[in-house]
Amino acid sequence: MITKIEVRPYRQNSNIWEADVKMLVQGQEVRRRWKSPMTSRTATERWAKEKALAYLVHVTGSGKMEEETAKEPVPTFAEYAERWMREYVIANQLKPTTRKTYEDILRAHLLPILGHLRLDAIDTAEVQRLKAERQHLGPVTVNKILARLSTMLRIAIEWHKPERPLIEKLPKIQRLKEPKVEKPHYTAEEQAKMLAAAEECEDPRAYVAFLLGDDAGLRHGEIIALRSWNVRFDDGPTGAILVTHTACNGILTTPKSNQVRRIPMSPRLRAALLKYLPTLQSEWVVPNIYGEMCKCYHVISRLLRELQDEIGAKHGVHILRHTFATDALQHGATVREVQAMLGHALLATTEKYIHTAESQLDRAMLTVSERRTGAGDREDARATRRPSGGARRGSGGARTRAETRRPRNGRRAGDDVAPRPNRRNSQPEGGK
């Protein structure tokens, strides 16, 4: 039997692994050291175990390997998906929204295409077939499907055991290039129309839900989970909203990234809540018609869709959050401040909301043109006030460098100089 397997770098080459195996053969301890052909510690340990079992078979003459258990067949992707949802998603207590996302992607995309395959048969070719089957979807959606598949296969590698095999190597999953597009958001004109339509709406919940998204940047689930005690009128100059929960399918949970955050209220949101909350007969700020927490997203979506259809605006609740972030960044708030109000874990997520409006580009181009024109006029004015060197001298050109250089004898090039007398010829007569 195998008593111990120790894996360490090879003495003569640290890039190679060595297995030191101790076995018990007929009551005596036998030690063998083998240089491994594998590239990782885990693979070397599995290889050493198989080699040791083979060695024991050879030494003892037995017809079966000791400690060898019957291997289970590799499960199909559908069978593994059930285990993965149970032992990973539920066991790790992932958020209901995350769980729902995994369930939707498995049901609509992964299981119809890959569900019948054995897990170790999912290679790069099958991944490419998945992308070909979903070519009608946008690159962002396809990349989300590939990301979920990659997560599932990486966990399968961690769970792999010789007696319960899954996969040993992750296939190459190349994602699509995503176009860099701006987050959808409302313009100032669309915001004004939406606000006017919300004020005139008979249901006061529509106006409050609009302001919670447009003035506070709350997510859809955070609006549903907001209760009256989360609104604090005495917190700060205009009051604040404390976001402590979000909701998904009637289940309350912590907000995204597990961050409880405080959002200062705008004056118009404060005024609207001061007028609205006293008339409310429920603990939920935006309840359903029975005064209970909304069990799904359709309640608030329908409230806002009527307003959006009335002015011909884009549908959705999350677009109000995009608009809040865009306006905050364009009106002086820093990226860090907007990140804190939105509750983003990564700054890069907030930077995606930095949009450049067409009017800003127009103003920037006018500024550049005015500065260029002004610089050209100043150059012309300086050239007019300062005549050229040739004009000051009355000639047609500027002096050359040779003309302006003063030689060692103090005279400039081109000056009229009397010829120097020849001493040899200037001796007086009779000098001899």
Looking at residue 399, what is its pLDDT? 55
Domain boundary among 109, 141, 159: 159
Domain coverage including residue 247: 188-351
Q: Show which of 159, 180, 215 is a domain's final residue.
A: 159
Question: Which of the 8 DSSP states describes residue 62?
Answer: -
176 within domain boundaries: no
pLDDT confidence of residue 50? 87
For residue 286, the Cα-to-chain-centroid distance in whole angstroms is 31
- Same-domain status, 101 and 225: no
pLDDT for the residue numbered 67: 45
The verdict on 150 and 194 lying in the same domain is no
User: pLDDT band at 54, cuts 50/70/90?
Assistant: confident
Co-location of 303 and 217 in the same domain: yes
CA–CA gap between residue 161 and residue 305 (Å, rounded): 52
Please tell me the total count of domains within the chain.
3
pLDDT value of residue 277: 92
Residue 164 placed within a domain: no
Examine the domain organization and report whether 194 and 302 are in the same domain.
yes
Query: Percentage of the chain with pLDDT > 90?
Result: 33
Q: Are residues 262 and 295 in the same domain?
A: yes
User: Which tops the pLDDT comparison, 179 or 361?
Assistant: 179
Give the per-residue SS3 of 5-37.
EEEEECCCCCCCEEEEEEEEECCEEEEEEEECC
Kindly provide the residue ranges of all beta strands, DSSP E only, lying in 211-303, ordered along the sequence.
231-232, 240-243, 246-248, 251-253, 261-264
Same domain for 199 and 336 = yes
Q: What is the pLDDT of residues 130-150, one digit of tens each?
A: 999 999 999 999 999 999 999
Among 286-290, 312-316, 390-394, the minimum mean pLDDT is found in 390-394
pLDDT for 52 beyond 60: yes
* In a domain? residue 424: no
The last residue of a domain, from among 317, 335, 351 = 351
- 343 in the same domain as 217: yes
pLDDT at 4 over 90: no
Domain with residue 83: its CATH number is 1.10.150
Tokens of residue 186, six digits: 């409302």
Q: Is the predicted pLDDT of residue 422 greater than 90, yes or no?
A: no
Q: Is residue 66 part of a domain?
A: no
- Tell me whether residue 430 is in a domain: no
pLDDT band at 423 (very low <50, low <70, confident <90, very high): low
Task: Please report the pLDDT score of residue 380 as a whole number.
Answer: 67
DSSP 264: E
Both 285 and 347 in a single domain? yes
- Same domain assignment for residues 192 and 153: no
* pLDDT value at residue 91: 93
pTM: 0.61
Task: Give the residue with greater pLDDT, 205 vs 431.
Answer: 205
Regarding whether 210 and 136 lie in a shared domain, the answer is no
Whether 407 is in a domain gets the answer: no
Q: Is residue 177 part of a domain?
A: no
State the pLDDT at residue 432. Answer: 39
14-46 residue pLDDT tens? 788 899 998 888 777 888 888 888 888 888 888
Sheet holding 28-35, edge to edge: 2-9, 17-25, 28-35
Residue 52 sits in the same domain as residue 105: no
* Residue 415 belongs to some domain of the structure: no
81 and 56 together in one domain: no
CATH number for the domain including 192? 1.10.443.10
